[in-house]
Structure 1
Amino acid sequence: MRRMYMVLAAFLMTALAFSQETITGTIVDGETSDPLPGASIVVKGTTKGATTDFDGKFSLNVAEGSGTLVISYMGYVTKNVAFKKGGSIGTIALAPDAEQLGEVIVVGSGLIDLATDRQTPIAVSTIGVAEIQAKVGSQDVTMTLVNTPSVYVAGQSGGFGDTEIRVRGFEQDNTAFLLNGQPINGMEDGKMYWSNWSGISDIANGIQIQRGLGSSKLAISSVGGTVNFVTKTTDMREGGFVSAGIANDNYIKTTVGYNTGVGEKGFGASVMLSHWQGDGYSNGTFGEGQTYFISLGYKLNDAHNFNFLITGAPQYHDQHYTERISEYQEYGMLYNGNYGYLNGEYLTQRRNYYHKPVANLNWDWTIDDTSSLSTVLYASWGRGGGTGSYGNSPGYISNSITDQGLIDWDAVADYNDGITDGIGVGSSYYGSAIRASVNNHKWFGLVTNYSKEINENLTYNLGADLRTYTGSHFRQLVNLLGLNGFDESASEQYPDGYIVSSTFKPSAWSSLFDYADEDERIAYDYDERINYGGVFGQLEYAKDAYSLFVQGSVSNQSHVRWDRYQYTEAEEESETINNTGYNIKGGGSYAINNQNKFYVNAGYYSRQPYHDNIYLNYANDVNPLTENEKILGLEAGYTFSTSNFNARLDVYRTSWKDRVVSSSDTDDFGAIIYETDEGVEQLHSGAELSLDARPLPNLKLTGFLSVGDWKYVGDAVTTERDEDRNVLSTDVEDVDGGEVGGAAQTTFGLGFDYEFIERMSLDANYRYYDKLYADVGAVKSNIELPSFGLLDAGVSYRMLLGKNDGKSLLFRFNVNNVLNEEYISKMTSNYEAEAGDETYKGINTSNYVYFGNGTTWNFSLRYKF
Structure 2
Amino acid sequence: MKTVLLAGAALCALAAAPAWAQGPVSGTITDARTGGALPGATIFLDGAASGSTDAAGAFALPAVPAGPHELRVTFLGYEQQLRQVQGQADAQRLNASLTPGGVLTGEALVTASRANDRTATAYTNLGREDLAKRNFGQDLPYLLDQTPSVVVNSDAGAGVGYTDLRIRGTSNTGINMTINGVPLNDPESHGAFLVNLPDLASSINSLQIQRGVGTSQNGGAAFGASLNISTLDNRREAYAETNNTYGSFNTWKNTVQFGTGLVNGRFTVDGRLSRIASDGYMNRAASDLKSYYFAAGYQAKNTQLKFITFSGREKTYQAWYGVPEPALTGDRAQLQVYVDNGELSAANAARLLQEGRRYSYFTYDNQTDNYQQNHYQLHLSQGLGADWNLGAALHLTRGFGYYESFRARRKLVNYGLQNVVIGGQTITRTDLIDRKWLDNYFYGGTFALNYQPKAHEAFQATLGGAWNRFNNDHYGEVIWAQYASNGTIRHRYYFNDATKTDYNAYARATWQVLPRLGVYGDVQVRHIDYALAGVEDDQNDVATRARYTFFNPKAGATFALGAGQQLYASFAVGQREPVRSDFTDRPAGSPPAQAERLHDFEGGYRLNRPDAAFLGAGTALRLEANYFYMNYRNQLVATGQLNDVGTALRTNVARSYRTGVELTGAVSANDNISLSSTLTLSQNRIRDYRDVTYNADFDRVEAAPRTTTISYSPAVVSAHTLEGQPLKGLRAALLYKTVSRQYLDNTATSSRSIAPYQVLDFRLRYALHPRFVKEIELGLLVNNVLNREYVANGYTYGYVGASGRQENFNYYYPQATRNFLASVGVKF
* TM bin (shorter chain): 0.7 to 0.9
Report what 2:359 is aligned to: 336
SS at match of 1:170: coil
SS at match of 2:553: strand
Q: Is the 8 A contact 1:25 1:91 kept in 2?
A: no
Q: After TM superposition, give the deviation of residue 567 of structure 1 in Å.
A: 13
Question: 1:758 is matched by which residue type in structure 2?
Answer: K
Report what 1:164 is aligned to: 164
SS at match of 2:205: strand
The TM-score with structure 1 as length reference comes to 0.75
Q: After TM superposition, give the deviation of residue 231 of structure 1 in Å.
A: 2.1
Question: 1:28 is matched by which residue type in structure 2?
Answer: I
Q: After TM superposition, give the deviation of residue 156 of structure 1 in Å.
A: 4.7
Q: Distance in 2 between matches of 1:43 and 1:573?
A: 63
CA, structure 1 residues 680+822, in 2 after alignment: closer, same or farther (shift >3 Å)? farther
Q: Distance in 2 between matches of 1:653 and 1:632?
A: 8
1:545 matched to 2:546: no
Q: Distance in 1 between matches of 2:716 and 2:107?
A: 37
1:683 matched to 2:657: yes
Q: Spell out the pairing of 1:449-848 with structure 2 (5 A cutoff).
A: 449-454=448-453, 455-480=456-481, 483=482, 485=484, 487=485, 498-502=486-490, 520-522=491-493, 524-542=494-512, 543-563=514-534, 574=543, 576-614=545-583, 625-643=592-610, 644-661=620-637, 665=641, 675-715=649-689, 736-770=706-740, 772-776=741-745, 778-779=746-747, 781=749, 783-802=752-771, 807-829=774-796, 847-848=810-811
Summarize deviations over 1:164-217 as a string: whole Å, max 9, x none.
211111122111111111111111121222311323223222322111132345
Q: Distance in 1 between matches of 2:171 and 2:794?
A: 15
Q: Distance in 2 between matches of 1:384 and 1:719?
A: 37
Q: Is the 8 A contact 1:559 1:611 kept in 2?
A: no
Where relative contact order (Cα < 8 A, 6+ residues apart) is larger, the structure is 2
Question: 1:819 is matched by which residue type in structure 2?
Answer: L
Q: Spell out the pairing of 1:216-365 with structure 2 (5 A cutoff).
A: 216-218=216-218, 220-232=220-232, 235-264=235-264, 266-299=266-299, 301-320=300-319, 321-328=321-328, 329=330, 330-340=353-363, 347-349=365-367, 351-365=368-382
* Cα RMSD after superposing both structures: 4.0
Question: 1:390 is matched by which residue type in structure 2?
Answer: R
Summarize deviations over 1:266-310 as a string: whole Å, max 9, x none.
2331121112222111110111121111111112x2111010000
Q: Is the 8 A contact 2:137 2:199 kept in 1?
A: no
Q: After TM superposition, give the deviation of residue 332 of structure 1 in Å.
A: 3.8
Q: Is the 8 A contact 2:204 2:229 kept in 1?
A: yes
Q: Distance in 1 between matches of 2:598 and 2:50?
A: 29
Percent identity, aligned pairs only, is 16
Bigger mean CA offset, 552-561 vs 154-163: 154-163
Report what 2:8 is aligned to: none
Summarize deviations over 1:76-121 as a string: whole Å, max 9, x none.
xx9xx9xxxx9943479xxxxxxxxxxx994252334565555234
Q: After TM superposition, give the deviation of residue 135 of structure 1 in Å.
A: 2.0
1:28 matched to 2:28: no
The TM-score with structure 2 as length reference comes to 0.78
Bigger mean CA offset, 731-740 vs 286-295: 731-740
Q: Distance in 2 between matches of 1:830 and 1:604?
A: 33
Summarize deviations over 1:220-243 as a string: whole Å, max 9, x none.
531101111222555433231122
> For 1:854, which of 812, 817, 820 is the aligned residue?
817
Q: Distance in 1 between matches of 2:435 and 2:129?
A: 39
CA, structure 1 residues 173+751, in 2 after alignment: closer, same or farther (shift >3 Å)? same
Question: 1:538 is matched by which residue type in structure 2?
Answer: R
1:37 matched to 2:60: yes
CA, structure 1 residues 666+239, in 2 after alignment: closer, same or farther (shift >3 Å)? closer
Q: Distance in 1 between matches of 2:131 and 2:265?
A: 33
CA, structure 1 residues 796+168, in 2 after alignment: closer, same or farther (shift >3 Å)? same
Q: Is the 8 A contact 1:755 1:762 kept in 2?
A: yes
Q: After TM superposition, give the deviation of residue 432 of structure 1 in Å.
A: 1.1
SS at match of 1:142: helix
Question: 2:457 is matched by which residue type in structure 1?
Answer: E
Summarize deviations over 1:327-373 as a string: whole Å, max 9, x none.
243234443333336xxxxx153x21110001100100011222110
Question: 1:521 is matched by which residue type in structure 2?
Answer: R
SS at match of 1:357: strand
Q: Distance in 1 between matches of 2:478 and 2:593?
A: 34
Bigger mean CA offset, 693-702 vs 683-692: 693-702
Q: Is the 8 A contact 2:653 2:689 kept in 1?
A: yes
Q: After TM superposition, give the deviation of residue 575 of structure 1 in Å.
A: 6.2
Summarize deviations over 1:48-99 as a string: whole Å, max 9, x none.
xxx9xxx9xxxxxxxxxxx97525799xxx9xx9xxxx9943479xxxxxxx
Q: Spell out the pairing of 1:358-507 with structure 2 (5 A cutoff).
A: 358-390=375-407, 392=409, 430-454=429-453, 455-480=456-481, 483=482, 485=484, 487=485, 498-502=486-490
Q: After TM superposition, give the deviation of residue 780 of structure 1 in Å.
A: 5.9
SS at match of 1:314: strand
Q: After TM superposition, give the deviation of residue 446 of structure 1 in Å.
A: 1.0
Q: Distance in 2 between matches of 1:186 and 1:737?
A: 33
Bigger mean CA offset, 819-828 vs 226-235: 226-235
Q: Is the 8 A contact 1:762 1:795 kept in 2?
A: yes
Q: Distance in 1 between matches of 2:647 and 2:61?
A: 52
Q: Distance in 1 between matches of 2:89 and 2:477?
A: 55
Q: After TM superposition, give the deviation of residue 163 of structure 1 in Å.
A: 1.8
SS at match of 1:111: helix
Question: 1:812 is matched by which residue type in structure 2?
Answer: G
Question: 1:366 is matched by which residue type in structure 2?
Answer: G
CA, structure 1 residues 315+73, in 2 after alignment: closer, same or farther (shift >3 Å)? farther
Q: After TM superposition, give the deviation of residue 665 of structure 1 in Å.
A: 4.2
Report what 1:151 is aligned to: 150
1:191 matched to 2:191: yes
Report what 2:3 is aligned to: none
SS at match of 1:714: strand
Q: Is the 8 A contact 1:218 1:553 kept in 2?
A: no
SS at match of 1:131: helix
Report what 1:403 is aligned to: none
CA, structure 1 residues 284+24, in 2 after alignment: closer, same or farther (shift >3 Å)? closer
Report what 2:617 is aligned to: none
Question: 1:450 is matched by which residue type in structure 2?
Answer: L
SS at match of 1:256: strand
SS at match of 1:37: strand
Q: Distance in 2 between matches of 1:560 and 1:133?
A: 42
Q: Is the 8 A contact 2:518 2:557 kept in 1?
A: yes
Q: After TM superposition, give the deviation of residue 641 of structure 1 in Å.
A: 2.8
SS at match of 1:447: strand
Q: Distance in 2 between matches of 1:812 and 1:105?
A: 36
Question: 2:824 is matched by which residue type in structure 1?
Answer: L
Q: After TM superposition, give the deviation of residue 847 of structure 1 in Å.
A: 2.9
Q: Is the 8 A contact 1:140 1:198 kept in 2?
A: yes
Q: Distance in 1 between matches of 2:693 and 2:460?
A: 48
Q: Is the 8 A contact 1:536 1:551 kept in 2?
A: yes
Question: 2:634 is matched by which residue type in structure 1?
Answer: D
Question: 1:153 is matched by which residue type in structure 2?
Answer: V
CA, structure 1 residues 73+649, in 2 after alignment: closer, same or farther (shift >3 Å)? farther
Unaligned runs of 5+ in 2: 1-25, 30-41, 54-58, 76-82, 331-352, 412-418, 611-619, 800-806
1:109 matched to 2:125: no
SS at match of 1:602: strand
CA, structure 1 residues 759+216, in 2 after alignment: closer, same or farther (shift >3 Å)? farther
